[in-house]
Amino acid sequence: MGPDEGSANGDEPPKKRRRGPHACATCRQRKVKCDGNQPCRNCKNSDTDCLYGTEPITKGKSDAILETVLRLEDRLSYLTAQLSAHPGLSPLPIESVTATSPQTVTTDRQPSSVTGARQLVHGTRHRRNESLDNAVLSARHTSTTESVLAWPFFDVFPGLRTHYQQIFTIEQQRRRYPSRPAQPPPSLKPNEVNAAVQAFQATINFSYPTVTTNQLADVEHRVLERQIDDSIETSLALIVMALGCASQVVDGLANTGATFSEDSQVQRSQVLAHTYFELYLQGLSGVHLEVSTTATQCLFFTALFFAYLQRPLQAHSYVCMTATKCRTLLAYTSADTGIDTECLRRVFWSCFILESDYIAELAALPQTGVSDMESSVPYPAYYQTSEDETERDQSSLYFLACVSMRRLLNRVHDLLYAPDTGVAFDDARFPHVVTELDHQLEEWRTCLPPVFQFSIDTTPASSQRGGFLRQRYLTCRAVIYRPYLNQVLSRTSTGEALTAQMLDKSEICLTMCLLHILNLKAFSQTVLIDTWICSLSMASTMLLLLAASRISALKQRLDPQALDAGKHLARLIEPWTHVHGSAVSPSVRQSLRMIGDVDALLHAEYGGIDAKLDARVQGLV
């Protein structure tokens, strides 16, 4: 290999061209020659941070996920195209899709790096119809908790609906987050500031890896110096500290099991989280007015803090604001501008996950348009979110696994439960779709790295992240097989015969539902960000178990542990409602009440409660 032309200043001897781990991260991402200087010529000319010393994620670590994602997208796009083109026909079986789909990726196209995989994904997308490729969650889809409660099968329990209020209404009527008089910034010791930043790193920046190590170092410096000015960097420092203290609260709950009233350190972290958030709110107008990558990060973290407060409407509003600013910057930013672009892409995918989670339960919420363009945005690449190489790589892989699962969930909801085109209630069409979707889900699971793998039972996962991904998997599989349960319920109400296949497939749905409940733990990501979503999901899952308990052919297939489900959920979720130390979400409270009501009805179905004597049951029938 010949030498490069020389260094930037022309005085130093020329260096050999560097590749792979010896090129800086920006040159690797742009796939251009790096001269190996610090900073290199390319980064100096573009005024970009020049980072060295990290080996790119290898094929064995990341391409397996990316290649599987690509295969899933090809097959699902083909399935969607078939259903759209032939609404009166059943789609082809899996073997036909694999063998004949013109979009299927052939085995001779093997990317050799994470960048190569991303290019392959991106290139294949452009050869397809992007309207089919985008994983859009249909507006007013019919798989929300409120949709399940409206099933005619629950007409026999009018009290469940009488006591129920629309989620949007009760959240809209809440008192707004209280504003308090301005306070001076807290005076913390260096080890306390570092502990809060490390808690942010372990919880928020692992699940949504969007902040660099340089930014985190600046956060610590500003907080220790108590630099409270109107700069966007100060705003980022304050919201990071607010979320870091909130993460400490959640970690205290997960690691010690103590209640919030018992642990003085947890109480102090609660107070500090609110103090830093209130300081941040004083400069929020500047965040809104600035159009920059850092402002976009701040808006996203505002959404996460409102998620911590279990205020879904405010969290969704800030996801929308983040997405708008993010899309604007991506639209007017070259694809080769380095570190800022990678940050924006990661924020984009974070918005995609969070928005989809909220629309999964509040289907009429306006959408940001992120889902409409996500097929044109590359997946995450190299980004210096941690000095620890293993942590950084695992975080990127975990984030990619979450993104790909959310895309699959959206496709499942759309193919089965879209209001006009969903096939869930079409007995002739849904079985093939269910089989194919289940196959895609298993492909996703088998390509997970060992650290995130899990078994399909109640055996503890090898890591908290694996446990969280198992919850996503169980949710997805239950939703995939729910059409069979719908079919059994419908046929039972009309007196039609049930086949062994209908009952077997319904049992899969019910088993996934029960495992979803029994495997729920105080995962940091669940408690900090997803308590509201989790409470609603568990309420609808309990409704499905109740429906099955009233059909003898399904009741005998239900595991007896179904009678422990309600108490297990109440014991877990009730403490989470107080994690933030402020007003309890009315919709979370309502979900807990519904879980208790359904639990009482379940026990009545199994004879554990005398329905004629139990006042709670009598109020529901």
| pLDDT tens-place string over residues 379-411 | 878 788 999 989 999 999 999 999 999 999 999
| SS3 state of residue 3 | strand
**Contact 305/208 with Cβ under 8 angstroms?**
no
**Contact 348/370 with Cβ under 8 angstroms?**
yes
**Contact 432/92 with Cβ under 8 angstroms?**
yes
| SS3 state of residue 18 | strand
**Contact 247/237 with Cβ under 8 angstroms?**
no
What confidence score (pLDDT) does residue 331 get? 87
* Residue 33: partners with Cβ closer than 8 Å, 6 or more residues away: 4, 17, 27
Please name which of 79, 62, 137 lies closest in space to residue 374, comparing C-alpha atoms.
137
**Contact 481/438 with Cβ under 8 angstroms?**
yes
pLDDT exceeds cutoff 80 at 231: yes
**Full-model pTM:** 0.81
Residue 16 φ then ψ, to 5°: -65, 150
Please name which of 37, 51, 48, 43 lies closest in space to residue 6, comparing C-alpha atoms.
37
In degrees to the nearest 10, what's the CA dihedral of 427, 430, 434, 436? Answer: 130
Residues in the chain: 621
What confidence score (pLDDT) does residue 433 get? 92
Q: Cα 304 from chain centroid?
A: 12
Distances (CA, A) of 324 to 283, 316, 488: 20, 12, 44
**Contact 377/349 with Cβ under 8 angstroms?**
yes
Domain with CATH 4.10.240 in the chain: 1-53
| pLDDT tens-place string over residues 44-92 | 776 677 775 444 434 444 455 556 565 555 655 555 555 555 554 444 4
Rounded to an integer, the average pLDDT of 427-434 is 92
| SS3 state of residue 16 | strand
Any idea what DSSP says for residue 309? T
CATH number of 1-53: 4.10.240
pLDDT tier at 612 (50, 70, 90 boundaries)?
low
User: Which stretches of 360-463 are DSSP H helices?
Assistant: 370-373, 389-417, 430-446
What confidence score (pLDDT) does residue 28 get? 63
**Contact 585/311 with Cβ under 8 angstroms?**
yes
Q: How many angstroms separate the CA atoms of 83 and 88, rounded?
A: 8
CB count within 10 Å of CB 32 equals 12
Rounded to an integer, the average pLDDT of 512-529 is 97
**Contact 449/462 with Cβ under 8 angstroms?**
no
pLDDT exceeds cutoff 60 at 259: no
